[in-house]
A and B are shown apart, each in its own frame.
Chain A
Amino acid sequence: MHTSQLIAEVLRVLAAGLLLISFAMLSGRRTQQLITLFAWQGGLLFVSTCLVAYSSGLTEMYYSAALTLLLKVIALPWILNRLIKRLGAQWDSEQLVNVPTTMLVGLVLVIFAFGLAQPISSMATTITRHTLGIALAVILLAFLMMITRRKAVTQVIGFLAMENGLFLAATSATYGMPMVIELGIALDLLVGVFILGIFFFQIREQFDSLDLHNLESLKED
């Protein structure tokens, strides 16, 4: 009993770390830095999934934790790093619009997410039920990041961070999704990143830049 309480506390700390990283991503300027943050987020997710697996005794959760480690901590950051090296976008930094305002909006979103998660987590029976609010907040913050960014690579990182939030929400509400679905999602992510990588090259070839601002001319009049 004592151990499970300890684990619950540690899980909360880890979730708080995830939220903190989300805020860091929201205000991060450099692409390289964002990829590192994304890898850290994946690492925290891996640890928390392992802990949940240990406390609940579900072997399946170990598999999904291993999948997280492989995909989100090692494979995707490595692919993204290679990609930005190839694109020469390593040292790109982007002008962010009004960081304090974004942060404030982020805070409001977190409060909103906690308010939203309250009735759901009171119904859930999992050890991680209190982290559901954080999971929702991570999703919304990642979405907000996608909205405020203009570079193609950061959009993709935002998208991946959103998936992290979803994964956290799944583990905290119901001890994860069925294995088949999780495998499917992992594969989708991988394929998605590959396809988006190809798109990056295409976009750069067309516009000589990865700034999505250029896509505005594609609008139909």
Chain B
Amino acid sequence: MLLSANHWISGLAETLAVNDLHFILLLVAAWMMLGFAGFLRPHSVRFVARMLFPAGALLCLGVALLAGLFLASGQVPQLVILPLGLPDLPFHIRLDVLSGFFLLLLGVAGAGISTFAAGYFRSGEGTAPALLGLEYHFFLASMAMVILADDAYLFMVAWETMALSSYFLVTSHHRIPEIRRAGFLYLIMAHVGAVCILLCFGVLQGGSWQFTFDAMRSAHFAPFWATTAFLLALLGFGAKAGLVPMHVWLPEAHPAAPSPVSAMMSGLMLKTAIYGMLRVSFDLLSIRFWQWGVLLLVLGLFSALFGAVFAAVQTDMKRLLAYSSIENVGLIFTGIGLAILFETSNMHLFAALALTAALVHSFNHALFKSLLFLTTGSVLHATKQRSLGKLGGLIRHMPWVASLALIGTLSIAGLPPLNGFVSEWLLLQSFLFTPQLPHAFLNMLIPLGAAALALTVALSAYVMVKFYGVIFLGQPREPSLVNAHDANWLERLGLIWLAAGCILIGALPQLVLRAVAPVTGKLLGDTVRSSSTFWSIAPIAQQQASYSGLILLAGILSVVAVTFVCVRVLAHGRIRRTNTWDCGYPWQTSRMQDTAEGFGQPIRHMFGTFFRMERNLPSASDTTPRYRIYIEDRLWRAVYLPIARGVQMLADGIGFLQGGRLSIYLLYSFLTLLGLLVFVL
């Protein structure tokens, strides 16, 4: 009796340790249940938002915890075959280190976003609360399933569920025509991408007609087919990730969506595309070529620069962040490209460094971009304004949001001791090793890439100064801004969670590096030697370069404290609110501050070739002068409009078949009949 009980208990403990995957699947199922639970009281915001969303956040935490446990302990891949789906095509599910890492990311950032969303959704906004909850939790569940899928069938089902649920979330204010248009654009891009991914899997099965990832791993490809699969994956996942030139949907869809949804899409959904890219190129494909790395490097760097430049000239705060997402995705792809380059040259340690940079940046971007999107949500609720030209001075009315947004902007700008610095530093470090590559020509070009990276990072810092300065600093540009209210406690909690993550990873990057190490170890066979102590990290060797966030943080805090004490206690300590020097001009208004357009102006001049600009300059005699500028993406006219016209022409050509004459229609069927008969013959 006692023996059997003992046996049972040890069995339970074993299950807990070994079968993380089962628990994660239970949590995913619980998400879906939460989605349906909203229909118990479909119109009650209090029930759906204030009760179900926090429960969803707890589930996120659970997923993060289990994924973290998995990464910390066993790391033996776990398999489950669910007898769902089509007959003879069960769902294969697998948890390995790569999916574990991305689940950790999903859980950590998702917890913050769900908590914020609990406080964010108000009644009477677009879609009914219950539907919103359903779409939101299915979005979360489908992202988890994309990461866990181990066959192409389940992957595509989850991928399309993700695209559809996010489409409905984007168009939750579907009564506004622009939002419907943005949603349509997103849907088209999502489907084009999905078709490419589907074709990619079609190539990857390699004639075996087995669509499990296991079969794909053991397939062998000629270089041509491997490259075809890689390019299809790049197109498909690039369209989801927002890699230039497949980025057009991002700046439209992100501003259209409610802020927690923008945060989810930018912070989490883009990462599933990164995950897919890594899964295909490092896991499913057994061979890689250095040219792929160069392609990714070029595309990534161009996207990064493109995103940063466009973000600098935006005047809508959410569009600005969307372009910044393009920039960050570009940086991540740059890291992946470098990893492929190093790996194909048999420099596994450096490849691991580059991949570590990409993965850590994915994690960081999930944190700080979600944080910033959420703060724009708070600002939007408080002021009903999205245009930077009508904001300003909010730091006095929204101190919580302003200070948490400051942490986000500092991390995204890549300043130490916050997390953005860590990953950008790692990326620059891996660039420093490129001269050891055995390609003479590349060795001459890649320093240019490093320069472009540095330029991008600097530009993104500039963008963030603009973002923060125009929204929170200065004087309110509109009188109504005085009534702005701070975020409620649930929103604050979500923001604090994400901001704390930014600080923690910045100060103790070892935490993420430890989570990344098994991933690089499995994909590349080598890991970054964290010869790291508690104080500092040194990815390659202590004498090469090291970074210690904790000491830096302590140093910065002490300097700030000393300065504060000096100014407030030892010096006069008075606060005086008055006009700055006004050049003798006595009537100053808040509209005389530097504007978002003003901030963007130098960039507009320097990078003029990137944009298509239309300026409306007022004439001298105009009594109500207004200065307007429209900035457009050149790629839209160069790539997308010709494609749209081509499709239109094709459709018109096919429409010609419909002549309207009955005898012509009869002739069609007659000819078809004859054709079929000849075919039979």
Contacts and interface: CB of A to CB of B under 8 A. Distances in A.
Contact of B660 (A140, A147, A148, A218): A218
Contact of B662 (A112, A115, A212): A212
Contacts of A143: 666, 669-670, 673
Secondary structure at the B interface, as helix, strand, loop or mixed, is helix
B660 A217 contact: yes
Contacts of A155: 662
Interface in A120-156: 140, 143-144, 146-150, 155
B660 A115 contact: no
A219 B658 contact: yes
B677 interface: yes
A147 B667 CA distance: 6
Contacts of B670: 140, 143-144, 147
Nearest to A215: B662
A116 B663 contact: no
A146 B680 CA distance: 24
B565 interface: no
A216 interface: yes
Nearest to B664: A147
A218 B669 CA distance: 20
B674 A112 contact: yes
B659 interface: yes
Interface in A181-221: 212-213, 215-220
Contacts of A116: 677, 680-681
A150 B681 CA distance: 32
Contacts, number: 40
B661 interface: yes
Interface residues of B, number: 15
Interface in A50-79: none
Interface residues of A, number: 21
Interface string B644-681: 00000000000000111111001101100110010011
Contacts of A140: 670, 673-674
Contacts of A112: 674, 677
A217 B661 CA distance: 9
A219 B662 contact: no
A58 to B, nearest CB: 28
Contacts of A213: 661
A147 B659 contact: no
B668 to A, nearest CB: 10
Nearest to B665: A147
B663 A148 contact: yes
A147 B666 contact: yes
B666 A219 contact: no
B86 to A, nearest CB: 34
Nearest to A221: B655
A218 B677 CA distance: 32
A216 B661 contact: yes
Given A116-B677, A116-B681, A143-B673, A220 B667 contact: no
Contacts of B669: 143
Nearest to A220: B658
Contacts of A148: 663
Contacts of B673: 140, 143
A115 B681 contact: yes
Nearest to B658: A219
B627 to A, nearest CB: 43
Contacts of B659: 216, 219
Contacts of B674: 112, 140
Contacts of B666: 143, 146-147
Contacts of A220: 658
A161 B658 CA distance: 26
Nearest to A109: B674
Contacts of A115: 681
A150 B677 contact: no
A147 B660 CA distance: 14
Contacts of B677: 112, 116
Nearest to A149: B663
Nearest to B668: A147
A104 to B, nearest CB: 16
A119 B667 CA distance: 26
A123 B147 CA distance: 58
Interface string B57-84: 0000000000000000000000000000
A131 B486 CA distance: 90
Nearest to A136: B677
Given A112-B674, A116-B677, A147 B663 contact: yes
A24 B660 CA distance: 29
A169 to B, nearest CB: 12
Q: Which of B659, B661, B663 has the most CB of A within 10 A?
A: B663
Contact of A215 (B660, B680, B681): B660
Nearest to B659: A219
Contacts of B658: 219-220
B663 A150 contact: yes
Interface in B388-441: none
B660 A216 contact: yes
Interface in B158-176: none
Nearest to B663: A147
Contacts of B681: 115-116, 119
Nearest to B681: A116
Nearest to A119: B681
B680 to A, nearest CB: 8
A5 to B, nearest CB: 30
A221 to B, nearest CB: 9
Nearest to A139: B673
Q: Which of A119, A147, A148, A213 has the most CB of B within 10 A?
A: A147
B377 to A, nearest CB: 45
A119 B677 CA distance: 13
A191 B670 CA distance: 24
A219 B660 contact: yes
Interface string B621-658: 00000000000000000000000000000000000001
B665 to A, nearest CB: 9
A203 to B, nearest CB: 11
Contacts of A212: 661-663
A150 B662 CA distance: 8
A51 B667 CA distance: 35
Contacts of B667: 147
30 contacts: A112-B674, A112-B677, A115-B681, A116-B677, A116-B680, A140-B670, A140-B673, A143-B666, A143-B669, A143-B670, A143-B673, A146-B663, A146-B666, A147-B663, A147-B666, A147-B667, A147-B670, A148-B663, A149-B663, A150-B663, A155-B662, A212-B663, A213-B661, A215-B660, A216-B660, A216-B661, A217-B660, A218-B660, A219-B658, A220-B658
Given A116-B680, A218-B660, 14 more contacts: A112-B674, A115-B681, A116-B677, A119-B681, A143-B666, A143-B673, A146-B663, A146-B666, A147-B663, A149-B663, A150-B663, A216-B660, A216-B661, A220-B658
10 closest Cβ pairs, A-B complex: A219-B660, A216-B660, A147-B666, A212-B662, A147-B663, A143-B670, A146-B666, A147-B667, A116-B677, A216-B661
Interface of A: 112, 115-116, 119, 140, 143-144, 146-150, 155, 212-213, 215-220
Interface of B: 658-663, 666-667, 669-670, 673-674, 677, 680-681
